[in-house]
């Protein structure tokens, strides 16, 4: 069974959208395997976002992700990586299609990093790497 790492980011958590995101995941038919609320540490965020190091939004991204509690989830199901990315919508919440999490619930706040409510792994390799960072032993 495929699995993915989903994060309800600090903006989504602070806005009280964790339940709404988890509701959409369950309504789609995916399974919540493991859930944890935590404030992410910078060491693991640097590993998680290594592909973006050097980009202009990298430091604001790490600062934002470390700014408060977030909900981390392992979600399972056939083709869940592709399916959750479709549920999430495009990275830019202004452009994300209505019907998606980012399209329905997100917007541009005029900040240097896009606050787009959720993270979802982008490939099986990314999912296993990210799950290893945040859920050692899973």
In the range 73-132, which residues lie near Mg ion by CB under 5 A?
122
For the question of residue 48 being annotated catalytic, the response is no
Residue 100 Cα distances to 69, 92, 94, angstroms: 23, 12, 11
Confirm or reject binding of residue 116 to ligand DAT (CB under 6 A): yes
- Of the candidates 48, 52, 119, 138, the residue annotated as catalytic is 119
Q: Which does 3 bind (CB under 5 to 8 A by kind): ligand DAT, Mg ion, none?
A: none
Confirm or reject binding of residue 113 to ligand DAT (CB under 6 A): yes
Cβ of residue 56: shortest distance to ligand DAT, in angstroms? Answer: 7
Confirm or reject binding of residue 91 to ligand DAT (CB under 6 A): yes
**CB of 70 closer than 8 Å to CB of 83:** no
Q: Any alpha helices (H) in the chain, and if so which ranges?
A: 10-14, 18-28, 42-48, 58-65, 80-88, 101-105, 124-134
In the range 46-65, which residues lie near ligand DAT by CB under 6 A?
52, 57, 61
Q: How far apart are CA 108 and CA 16, in angstroms?
A: 18
Q: Please report where in the chains the tokens 């859920």 appear, as a residue.
A: 135
Residues classed as catalytic: 119
Instruction: Point out which residues bind ligand DAT (CB under 6 A).
Output: 52, 57, 61, 91, 113-114, 116, 119, 122
């Amino acid at each position: 069974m495929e699995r993915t790492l989903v994060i309800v980011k600090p903006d989504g958590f602070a806005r009280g959208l964790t339940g709404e995101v988890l509701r959409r995941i369950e309504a789609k038919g995916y399974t919540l395997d493991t859930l944890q609320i935590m404030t992410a540490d910078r060491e693991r965020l640097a590993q998680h976002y290594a592909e973006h190091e050097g980009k202009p939004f990298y430091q604001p991204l790490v600062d934002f992700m470390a700014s408060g509690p977030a909900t981390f989830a392992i979600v399972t199901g056939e083709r869940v990586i592709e399916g959750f990315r479709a549920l999430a919508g495009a990275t830019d919440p202004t452009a994300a299609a209505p019907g998606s999490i980012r399209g329905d619930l997100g917007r541009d706040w005029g900040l240097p990093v896009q606050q787009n409510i959720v993270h979802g792994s982008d490939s099986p390799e990314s999912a296993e790497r990210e799950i290893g960072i945040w859920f050692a032993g899973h």
